[in-house]
């Protein structure tokens, strides 16, 4: 794209975006593998009538739990109900217990440790299933522990599904996406109806709808929000540009940009109305098993893992296991995750394959073969994530990969279109937009693209290095403990490795900016020479030359990113 616009050195931004897409695609597919594993185990458990992560599974024994009641009641026979092994809520209140913020913390004076073995432990059973059966989790990042056979099988199936979606480019993915992009909405609506009828749903909705204005003063919140919106919109990875090139140039892309942004934010709000009532129901179910969890607040869910993979594979499965019709909602939930994950993954991979193909590096082979090579290489590298220590490597890439490059890429994209050629490129873009879509790009667009967006990305980029917003040890490796005493040991070298991965796309950007012919092919060189010699119109018809390389007239491609 940048070469056709007469800005060959700006190709570095495209290469950096492709590096981000490839690196994310390496580990993202393991989420599909986990989903397929849970989906398969759910189907296999139908004859038994008990979900595999439930505490009602035959042979499962709740592990010993440590409670920290006040010393004045610690030895009272009424503290624990002998029939359930749980604390007696009619005898003691939550205020009579100390709740440790970190596992292994020493109880303060006035509180005493009491060991009990409850008969019901839905949170612990779901965590045990996730950690010991699904992941077979090792002690830490420095202990890979060998391949996990069950997860290797699921991971292999996931990559085969992705290949079948992208092997013919938009001809295959463009058809699949009509199912994978629309089916999750039906699933969300089904969950929305069920979630609104759950007991204590109002607690979750209150947490969701009543803002805590104080957290807006935390820079880390703004940084996390920016990264999240980049992920959900797909900005900075090249996939939007790839799919946009497959539409007719007369397509109303101005309207599409607004529509996609509104749909993205609307979907997030809709998902909030699904997730938080379920979490409200979850705390009401768990408060009888854990005195540190109150049915009036979601704060106690930090003890079972409220965010990230913990939300999808621990918290939500616990709630589903407690619902009537649990198997139906479990299948619905994992089908939804599978559809959303496939959408995101083939968007990333399609971007990588298209760049290789358009750069000329893959033109000696067919599109299906090139797609197969990319998938195979990604699969082989990604096997590290399905080792018993793979979760730590997954978290490493998920934490560091895009922490810098996204801000640089998106900032350069805005600067390239508005500042290059003394603003002439923007004027041509504005003129062509008017000609093709009939829409006038007003001064607000120009102001945002030239000043606001680059300025914000610069601020967010610098925020990574300014305490207390930014920090070097993003995964708290210095405070990590080996599993199962802690969340898993992270050696100090993981910090250096993480930041190296963060700068890899930027190194690629600088290399291509310095040596732009690294990504030239003969056809593009001829194209560049042809237009560089056009003295009457230095911009030429470069916008018009950027016609679709794969699509048919009027073909539409939809992308949904999880």
Domain range annotation of the chain: 8-44+132-545, 63-119
Task: Check pLDDT > 90 for residue 153.
Answer: yes
SS3 content of the chain, % helix, strand, coil (to 5): 60, 5, 35
Of residues 505 and 358, the one with the higher pLDDT is 505
Mean of pLDDT values over 402-408 = 88
What pLDDT, on the 0 to 100 scale, is given for residue 238?
86
CB 333 within 8 A of CB 187: yes
Q: Nearest 5°: phi and psi at 86?
A: -105, 165
The CA distance from 63 to 484, in Å, is: 13
Model confidence band, residue 152 (pLDDT cutoffs 50, 70, 90): very high
Q: How far apart are the first and last CA of the chain?
A: 26
DSSP per-residue letters across 502-557: HHHHHHHHHHHHH-GGGG--HHHHHHHHHHHT-SS-TTTTHHHH---SSPPTT---
The CA distance from 434 to 432, in Å, is: 5
Q: 86: helix, coil or strand? A: strand
What pLDDT, on the 0 to 100 scale, is given for residue 78?
87
Which residues, other chains included, contact 545 with Cβ-Cβ below 8 Å and sequence gap of 6+? 4, 527, 531
What pLDDT, on the 0 to 100 scale, is given for residue 468?
64
The CA distance from 429 to 414, in Å, is: 13
Task: Provide the 10 A C-beta neighbour count for residue 524.
Answer: 18
pTM for this predicted structure? 0.88
The CA distance from 108 to 71, in Å, is: 11
Alpha helices (runs of H) in 181-238, residue ranges in sequence order: 183-196, 201-209, 219-233
Model confidence band, residue 549 (pLDDT cutoffs 50, 70, 90): very low
CB-based burial label for 110 (10 Å; 0-12, 13-18, 19+): exposed
Task: Check pLDDT > 70 for residue 533.
Answer: no
What pLDDT, on the 0 to 100 scale, is given for residue 304?
62
CB-based burial label for 517 (10 Å; 0-12, 13-18, 19+): exposed
Q: Which of 210, 55, 66, 167 lies closest to 122 in space, CA to CA?
A: 55
The CA distance from 21 to 542, in Å, is: 26
Q: Nearest 5°: phi and psi at 140?
A: -175, 180
Task: Check pLDDT > 70 for residue 525.
Answer: no
Model confidence band, residue 543 (pLDDT cutoffs 50, 70, 90): low
Of residues 469 and 537, the one with the higher pLDDT is 469
Mean of pLDDT values over 276-304 = 82
Mean of pLDDT values over 330-336 = 96
């Amino acid at each position: 794209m940048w070469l056709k616009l007469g800005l060959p050195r700006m190709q570095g931004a495209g290469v950096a975006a492709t590096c981000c897409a490839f690196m994310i695609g390496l580990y993202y597919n393991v989420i599909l593998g986990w989903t397929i594993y849970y989906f398969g185990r759910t189907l296999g458990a139908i004859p038994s009538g008990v979900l595999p992560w439930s505490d009602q599974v035959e042979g499962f024994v709740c592990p010993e739990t440590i409670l920290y009641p006040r010393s004045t009641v610690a030895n009272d026979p009424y503290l624990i109900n002998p029939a359930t092994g749980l604390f007696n809520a009619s005898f003691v209140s939550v205020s009579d217990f100390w709740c440790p913020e970190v596992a292994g913390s020493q109880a303060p004076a006035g509180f005493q440790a009491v060991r009990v073995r409850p008969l019901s432990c839905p949170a612990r059973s779901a965590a045990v299933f996730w950690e010991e059966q699904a992941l077979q989790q090792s002690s830490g990042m420095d202990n890979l522990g060998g391949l996990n056979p069950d997860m290797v099988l699921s991971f292999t199936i996931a990559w085969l599904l992705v290949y079948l979606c992208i092997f013919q480019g938009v001809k295959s993915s463009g058809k699949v996406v009509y199912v994978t992009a629309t089916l999750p909405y039906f699933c969300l609506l089904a969950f929305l109806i069920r979630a609104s009828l759950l007991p204590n749903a109002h607690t979750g909705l209150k947490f969701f709808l009543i803002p805590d204005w104080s957290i807006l003063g935390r820079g880390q919140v703004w940084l996390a929000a920016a990264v999240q919106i980049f992920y959900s919109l797909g900005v900075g990875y090249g996939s939007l540009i790839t799919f946009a090139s497959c539409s007719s140039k007369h397509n109303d892309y101005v309207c599409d940009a607004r529509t996609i942004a509104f749909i993205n934010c609307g979907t997030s709000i809709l998902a909030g109305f699904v997730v938080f009532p379920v979490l409200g129901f979850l705390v009401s179910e768990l408060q009888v098993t854990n005195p540190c969890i109150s049915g009036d607040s979601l704060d106690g869910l930090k003890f079972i893992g409220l965010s990230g993979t913990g939300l999808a594979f621990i918290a939500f499965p616990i709630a589903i296991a407690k619902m009537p019709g649990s198997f139906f909602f479990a299948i619905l939930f994992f089908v939804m995750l599978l559809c959303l994950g496939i959408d995101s993954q083939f968007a990333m991979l399609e971007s990588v394959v298209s760049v290789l193909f358009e750069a000329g590096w893959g033109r000696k082979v067919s599109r299906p073969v090139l797609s197969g090579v990319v998938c195979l290489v990604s699969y082989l590298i990604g096997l590290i994530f399905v080792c018993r220590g793979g979760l730590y490597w997954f978290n490493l890439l998920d934490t560091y990969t895009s922490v810098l490059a996204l801000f640089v890429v998106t900032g350069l994209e805005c600067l390239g279109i508005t500042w290059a050629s003394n603003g002439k490129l923007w004027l041509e873009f504005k003129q062509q937009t008017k000609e093709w879509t009939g829409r006038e790009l007003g001064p607000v667009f120009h102001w945002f693209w030239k000043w606001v967006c680059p300025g914000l990305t610069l601020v967010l980029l610098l925020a990574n290095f300014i305490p207390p917003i930014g920090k070097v040890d993003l995964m708290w490796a210095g405070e990590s403990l080996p599993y199962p005493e802690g969340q898993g040991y992270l050696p100090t070298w993981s910090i250096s490795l993480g930041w190296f991965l963060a700068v890899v796309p930027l190194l690629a950007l600088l290399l291509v900016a310095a040596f732009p012919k690294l990504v030239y092919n003969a056809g593009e060189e001829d194209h560049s020479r042809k237009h560089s010699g056009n003295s009457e119109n230095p911009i030429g018809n470069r916008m018009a030359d950027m016609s679709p390389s794969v699509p048919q007239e009027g073909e539409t491609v939809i992308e949904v990113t999880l």
